[in-house]
Chain A
Amino acid sequence: MEIYLDNSATTKVCPEAANAALSVMTDIYGNPSAVHSFGVKAKAVLENSRKAVAVALGADPAEIYFSHSGTLANNTAIFGAANARRKLGNRIVTTKLEHPSVQRCMDVLEDQGFQVVRLAPTKNGTFDTLELLNAINKNTILVSMMLVNNEIGSINQVDLISRAVKKVSSPALIHVDAIQAFGKIPVKPSKLGIDLLTVSGHKIHAPKGVGALYVKKNLNIKPVIFGGGQESNLFSGTEPLPAIAGFGAAVSAIPPLQVKYEEMKKLRDHTLSMLRGIPQVQINSPSDGLPYIINMSVMGIPSQVLINYLSERGIYISAGSACKKGHRSEVLSNMGYHAKVIDSAVRVSMSRYTTAQEMEIFVSAVNDAVNNIRTKL
């Protein structure tokens, strides 16, 4: 049986979600936009899923829009917000640790003439409150920051953003990419003072092909894709209903957050204490980060070699980000890590299904790798 430790990339679909998706594919397969009763049945599934996501986010169902991916939701949020506030200012504040689906949007906005301020991270992968306060001014129209970093698991205090925005009476909208956080720590946009928030289905044991965007009531943002006008015109294209149904079911199946969080913390700490027995291992994740993610470097073994070695043994982990020759992890290099650490960095990401026994097998395989692989010349 495989030991799957790449849950930040994607997760196994949980049985609840798989059943819900199957029933939509084979029984309730009508188009939710159709007016006949078969379509209305499908529409009911769509709205039930919307309710489930809304409940989990402490939001109104009317504030939830299903997109075809987390990336599309991030793009829509960022371009939508920039367009909506364009007349009020020119400055956008974000961080250097964002996911590419945010970073690349910012590059495009910069090309269009926006002034994009990218906050540098501190050593633990979060940001400095004072720097955030300094970056936001009256001319700032958008602040976009992830809640949990996908490579190292650091948790940002995104509730500070709305306070900073209020302090200077900035017209800024606040967008939070909560894709890695959702289902693991409490994510309540209204409580956090957030206008736009992104989540994704396949990171929480739903099928691939669905994300959701929370848009605060009375905020109008424009779409980035055009077509049949589904999801109140924000995400045109026939709704991926099997994935949406799975998303709703997966959200409902999330165990109580606090209890699970403590369990995962124990599992992470147990793993870390075992890893400490291997002198070549360096932990790159902050100790107060999300316990589901361990970013580590096995010094002297390039990321890809360790991934291949473990892969042969049925253990699946990943490099910090898509491993591309000559391209080092932007996140780790922006955090100031040495090239040698970055070249050996791997991400081990657990799910609520991961067991202590699996982590023990993983650590022992890392130990074998250290004893068997030498690449340095």
Chain B
Amino acid sequence: MQEIILLKDGELALKGLNRSTFEDMLIKNIKERISTLGSFSFRKAQSTIVVTPESDDIDLDEAVSRIGKVFGTVGISRAAVCEKDIDVIRHTAYEYLKDELMFAKTFKVTAKRADKNFPLKSPEICDEVGGFLLSKIRGLKVDVHNPEVTVAVEVRDNGVYIHGTQLPGAGGMPTGTSGRACLLISGGIDSPVAGYMIAKRGVRLTAVHFASPPYTSELAEMKVHELLEKVSMYSGRINLFTVPFTKIQEAIRDYCPEEMFTVTMRRIMMKLASRIAEWQGADALVTGESLGQVASQTIHALKCTDECATLPVFRPCIGMDKNEIVIISRKIDTFDISIRPYEDCCTVFTPKHPRTRPTPAYARETEGLIPDLEKMMDEAFEGAVLKIIEAYK
């Protein structure tokens, strides 16, 4: 029995004449993600993308799991393909879905007849297949409103697809259809979630991480790599730049008032991230900031840091509570990595009593106390190291 994967693209249908571009991008992204599993062919048909494995030894479970994380689809089904003959359809439906149906109490059959030359009409297909399944599986009942299993029969131009209940897709828009943004990532819970949320809207990610050895450890950097690898399962390839930040942090410690350590640090991070972003051709910055979560994320502190960015700053977590962010981080499987207890750039030299209502003027003045800041920033920018993060590679 030949098996294929059917993808329903959701929001893409709204995109008018761009639709084909969006679908092509989706297919390209899926190809990237599953190419290591073997070779597949792709076909676009009636707001569905048909993914056909080209050999029998391909791990379809893994392919479905990977495709389930590619943005731009609303539903995924694994389907059996058979010829356009009602007897074959009935038997294929039984063989293909009996394991699922035998453990269910209720089911229904839906039929879609895209090939109008097929002799039976949709309701007749449902009757034929439903009746056959009822006769084969004892105790199964029909429930058209709230079935446990939906058996879908799609009669298309080049064959019949039979599948069970559709799995949800990752939603969103295909990565790469909305430009590029630069994510500031520390290693905490929020920034990977922010990256995921923005990537979901079709944006490619560049990431910037600030490392301050020996105050931060190699383990903290490894943690960032692992977090981004998880995010890249959704977003695709991420260019990570690790910026050497020790000298700047030491200078902040040496020249700035303690209460302004964090705000000053974040201002400089914004400036450096902007430079890397523009150099990468990104059009926005992304941070995991959530209003009022910590002293550096009060509305006043954000005003001070925001003015240092030369690009728009997207903060998708801004209005979320911590537990709402945690729910997403668990969903994308970054939570357990994020809570590993290594020092990161944000926790080095943390002031005991940070100023919660800094003003931009005072922040600028504070920053001005650091001698040779521009030169140190140039060095940090020049010293940034690129690592390509890509899951499944």
Residues on A facing B (Cβ under 8 Å): 304-309, 311-312, 324-326, 369, 373-375, 377
- The smallest beta-carbon distance between B364 and chain A, in angstroms, is 23
A346 → chain B, closest Cβ, in Å? 13
Q: How far is the CB of A205 from chain B (nearest CB, A)?
A: 26
Given A324-B341, A374-B253, the answer on whether A308 and B352 have CB atoms closer than 8 Å is: no
Complex Cα distance, B269 from A151, in Å, reads 39
Q: Which residues of B lie under 8 Å from residue A369 when comparing CB positions?
A: 214
In the complex, the chain A residue whose C-beta lies closest to that of B347 is A325
Counting CB contacts under 8 A, is B218 at the interface?
yes
Interface of A, helix, strand, loop or mixed by DSSP: helix
Asked if residues B253 and A308 are in contact (CB atoms below 8 Å), the reply is no
| B217 touches A (CB below 8 Å) | yes
Contact with A along B121-143 (1 / 0, CB 8 A): 00000000000000000000000
Is B366 an interface residue, CB under 8 A from the partner? no
Given known pairs A324-B341, A325-B341, the reply for A377 and B214 (CB within 8 Å) is no
Q: Are A375 and B218 in contact (CB under 8 A)?
A: no
CB distance from B105 to the nearest CB of A (A): 40
> Is B349 positioned at the interface, with any CB of A under 8 Å from its CB?
yes
Q: Are A304 and B349 in contact (CB under 8 A)?
A: no
Closest chain B residue to A369 by CB distance? B214
* Residue pair B349, A375 in contact (C-beta under 8 Å): yes
Whether B213 is near chain A, meaning CB under 8 Å from some CB there, is yes
CA distance A309 to B212 in the complex (A): 11
The residue in chain B whose Cβ has the minimal distance to the Cβ of A374 is B253
What is the bound-complex CA distance between A325 and B217, given in angstroms? 13
B215 contacts the other chain (Cβ, under 8 Å)? Answer: yes
List A contacts of B348 (CB < 8 A). Answer: 375
Chain B 348-385 per-residue mask, 1 if CB under 8 angstroms from chain A, else 0:
11011000000000000000000000000000000000
Q: How would you classify the secondary structure of chain B's contact residues: helix, strand, loop or mixed?
A: loop
Q: A377 contacts B213, CB within 8 Å?
A: no
Residue B226 is within 8 A (CB to CB) of chain A in the complex: no
| Residues from chain B with Cβ under 8 Å of A309 in the complex | 213-214
For A375, the chain B residues whose CB sits under 8 A away are 215, 348-349
Complex Cα gap A373–B212 (Å): 12
CA–CA, A305 to B246, complex, Å?
Answer: 12
Cross-chain contact A373 with B341 (CB below 8 angstroms): no
Q: Is the CB of A377 within 8 A of B349?
A: yes
B214 / chain A contacts, CB cutoff of 8 Å: 305-309, 311-312, 369, 373
A377 near B341 (CB under 8 angstroms)? no
**A309–B253 Cα gap in the complex (Å)?**
18
Cβ proximity bits B314-348 to A, threshold 8 Å, 1 near / 0 not:
00000000000000000000000000011100001
Complex-state Cα separation, A374 to B352, whole angstroms: 16
User: 24 A-B residue contacts at CB 8 Å?
Assistant: A304-B343, A305-B215, A306-B214, A307-B217, A308-B214, A308-B216, A308-B217, A309-B213, A309-B214, A311-B217, A311-B218, A324-B341, A325-B341, A325-B342, A325-B343, A326-B341, A369-B214, A373-B214, A374-B253, A375-B348, A375-B349, A377-B253, A377-B349, A377-B351
- CA of A374 to CA of B215 in the docked complex: distance in angstroms? 10
- Binary interface encoding of chain B residues 236-274 relative to chain A, with 1 for a CB under 8 A from any of its CBs, else 0: 000000000000000001000010000000000000000
Q: What separation, in Å, do the CA atoms of A308 and B219 have in the docked complex?
A: 10
List chain B residues, Cβ under 8 A from A305. 214-215
* Cα(A326)–Cα(B348), bound, Å: 15
Q: Are B217 and A304 touching (Cβ within 8 A)?
A: yes
Most buried by B among A308, A373, A375: A308
Interface string of B296-325 (1 = CB under 8 A from A): 000000000000000000000000000000
Known A304-B343, A377-B253, A377-B349; 6 more pairs at CB < 8 Å = A304-B217, A306-B214, A308-B217, A311-B218, A325-B341, A377-B351
Rounded to whole Å, the gap between the CB of B172 and the closest CB of chain A is 35
Contact bitstring B206-224, A, C-beta under 8 A = 1, else 0: 0000000111111000000
Given the known interface contacts A324-B341, A374-B253, A377-B258, the answer about A308 and B213 at a Cβ–Cβ threshold of 8 Å is: yes
Neighbouring A residues of B341 by C-beta, 8 Å? 324-326
Task: Quote the shortest CB–CB distance from B216 to chain A (angstroms).
Answer: 7
> Interface digits, B75-107 against A, CB 8 Å rule (1 contact, 0 not)?
000000000000000000000000000000000
Complex CA–CA separation, A307 to B352 (angstroms): 24
- Residues of chain A lying within 8 A (CB to CB) of residue B216: 308
Q: Which residues of chain B have C-beta atoms less than 8 A from A312's C-beta? A: 213-214
B215 cross-chain contacts in A, Cβ below 8 A = 305, 308, 375
A148 to B349, CA, bound (A): 37
A308 in contact with B349 (CB, 8 Å): no
Distance to closest chain B CB from A304 (angstroms) = 6
Docked pose: A307 CA to B342 CA in angstroms: 13
A44 to B2, CA, bound (A): 54
Q: Whole-angstrom distance between the alpha carbons of A325 and B347 in the complex?
A: 11
Give A369 to B215 CA distance when docked, in angstroms.
Answer: 12
Q: Min CB distance, A279 to chain B, in Å?
A: 21
Whole-angstrom distance between the alpha carbons of A324 and B341 in the complex? Answer: 6
Most chain B beta carbons < 10 A, residue from A304, A306, A312? A304
Q: How far apart sit A306 and B258, CA to CA, in the bound complex (Å)?
A: 23
Q: In the docked arrangement, what's the CA distance between A304 and B218, Å?
A: 11
Nearest-neighbor residue (CB-CB) of B258 within chain A: A377
Chain A positions within 8 Å of B352 at CB level: 377
B350 CB → nearest A CB, Å:
9
Chain B's closest residue to A313 (CB) is B214
Complex Cα distance, B341 from A84, in Å, reads 40
